[in-house]
């Protein structure tokens, strides 16, 4: 099974980029495509492809594919569009069995250990979190049905078209609407039209009455998919983050990457997400040197 992970990213590469790329290098059975205006990273491994693309070009492509006015000007807003990457970048993924989305503020472990042929052959949707669909690492089988699951939210047009607000559509959203029943025989190219639930959500919040039953996010859509297609979704806690350590009151933590494996306290992980630590001025990124191991801690990477 061939799997590609799509990561649009605009601006300068983060200071830990060499460490990120090294963790990709040790996963030769997976591929990455970095869609960016930052220039091709130095020492890019063979399984990481760079595709030059400006933010304006991304907006134009997304607008054309989605038949919407997409005008992303806040990089974080890209997260809402993650479930649509397979549709937007359909030409880039044509040779792959699976496509996925992920982030740059993480280090990968041994992906093949968690996502071997036995998993990829038997499941269509894969999440690195058990209780919700993870925006930081999720995979879809490369078919029209799975690439356009995001359209089963009645609110995706409004969410994608809002240039400023991040709704959490890729994971769990606080904004609710109505899901469209998943129908594999539906013509996905038709212009779906149904009432939006976002304004209902705002009114109900003010009136303090119950919300609609159907969350307008990918976790809700995939939950519905799982009911219609039992045993085709694989959702398991496979990752760790600095936020987890923080929530559990653990200040003195350490994660070790060694020859492609990522572990902490003898537990192995698919990736480690340092989404909070990267904002800390005391989080120091040591100069990267070709090495067989490095560590991640509250003090930094190196």
Q: pLDDT tens digits for the chain (302 residues)? A: 999 999 999 999 999 999 999 999 999 999 999 999 999 999 899 999 999 999 999 999 999 999 999 999 888 899 999 999 999 999 999 999 999 999 999 999 999 999 999 999 999 999 999 999 999 999 999 999 999 999 998 889 999 999 888 889 999 876 644 444 444 454 333 322 223 344 434 434 444 444 444 556 999 999 989 999 989 999 999 999 999 999 998 989 999 999 999 999 899 999 999 999 999 999 999 999 877 999 999 999 99
The CA distance from 270 to 264, in Å, is 12
CA distance 263 to 256: 5
Task: Tell me the two tokens of residue 64.
Answer: 């054309």
Do 156 and 150 contact (CB within 8 A), yes or no?
yes
> What is the C-alpha to C-alpha distance for residues 43 and 70, in angstroms, rounded to an integer?
33
Please report where in the chains the tokens 């740059």 appear, as a residue.
104
pLDDT score recorded for residue 94 = 98
Pairing of strands 255-258, 240-241: unpaired
Hey, how many other C-beta atoms are within 10 angstroms of the C-beta on 181? Answer: 8
Cβ atoms of residues 222 and 233 within 8 Å: yes
What is the domain partition of the chain in residue ranges? 3-237
Q: pTM of the entire structure?
A: 0.86
What is d(CA 137, CA 236) in angstroms, rounded to the nearest whole number? 11
Q: How many CA atoms lie within 13 A of 290 on its CB side?
A: 5
Contacts of 230 (CB under 8 A, 6+ apart): none
Rounded distance, CA 54 to CA 269, Å? Answer: 33
How far lies 129's CA from each of 12, 64, 103, 123, 301, in Å?
A: 29, 32, 15, 15, 24
- Listed residue (131, 125, 171, 130) closest to 148, CA to CA: 125
Q: How far is CA 301 from CA 234, 288, 295, in A?
A: 31, 9, 6
Integer CA distances (angstroms), 254 to 50, 266, 296, in order: 31, 11, 6
Distances (CA, A) of 182 to 12, 82, 225, 232: 39, 19, 7, 14
Q: How far apart are CA 42 and CA 267, in angstroms?
A: 31
Does domain 3-237 fall under CATH 2.40.50? My reply is: no
Walk across the sheet containing 137-141 and list its strands: 48-52, 30-36, 3-9, 98-102, 137-141, 125-127, 233-235
Q: How many CA atoms lie within 13 A of 162 on its CB side?
A: 15
Distance CA 141, CA 247 (A): 33
- Which residue has tokens 């929530």? 247
pLDDT at res. 74? 84
SS (H, E, C) 236-259: CCCCEEHHHHHHCCCCCCCEEEEC
| Contact between 57 and 42 (Cβ < 8 Å) | no
Q: What is the pLDDT of residue 194?
A: 29
Give pLDDT, residue 290. 77
């Amino acid at each position: 099974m061939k799997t590609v992970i799509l990561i649009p990213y605009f601006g300068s590469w983060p200071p830990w980029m060499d460490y990120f790329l090294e963790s990709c290098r040790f996963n030769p059975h997976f591929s990455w495509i970095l869609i960016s205006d930052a220039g091709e990273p130095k020492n890019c491994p063979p399984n990481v492809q760079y595709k030059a693309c400006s933010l304006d070009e991304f907006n134009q492509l997304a607008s054309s594919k989605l038949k919407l006015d997409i005008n992303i000007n806040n990089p974080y807003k890209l997260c809402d569009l993650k479930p649509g990457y397979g549709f937007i970048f359909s030409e880039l993924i044509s040779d792959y069995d699976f496509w996925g989305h992920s982030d740059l503020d993480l280090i990968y472990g041994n992906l093949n250990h968690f996502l071997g042929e036995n998993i990829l052959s038997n499941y269509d949707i894969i999440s690195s979190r058990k209780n919700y669909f993870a925006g930081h690492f999720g995979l879809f089988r490369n078919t029209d049905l799975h690439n356009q699951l995001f359209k089963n939210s009645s609110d995706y047009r409004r969410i994608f078209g809002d240039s400023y607000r991040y709704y959490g559509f890729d994971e769990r959203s606080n904004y609710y609407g109505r899901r469209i029943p998943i129908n594999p025989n539906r013509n996905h190219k038709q212009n779906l039209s149904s009432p939006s639930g976002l304004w209902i959500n705002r009114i109900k919040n003010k009136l303090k009455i119950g919300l609609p039953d159907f969350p307008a996010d990918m976790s809700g859509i995939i939950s519905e998919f799982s009911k219609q297609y039992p045993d085709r979704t694989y959702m398991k806690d496979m990752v760790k983050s600095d936020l987890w350590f923080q929530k559990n009151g653990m200040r003195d933590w350490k994660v070790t990457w060694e020859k492609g494996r990522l572990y902490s306290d003898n537990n192995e992980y698919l990736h480690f997400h340092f989404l909070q630590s990267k904002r800390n001025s005391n989080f120091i990124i040591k100069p990267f040197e070709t090495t067989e191991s490095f560590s991640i801690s509250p003090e930094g990477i190196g």
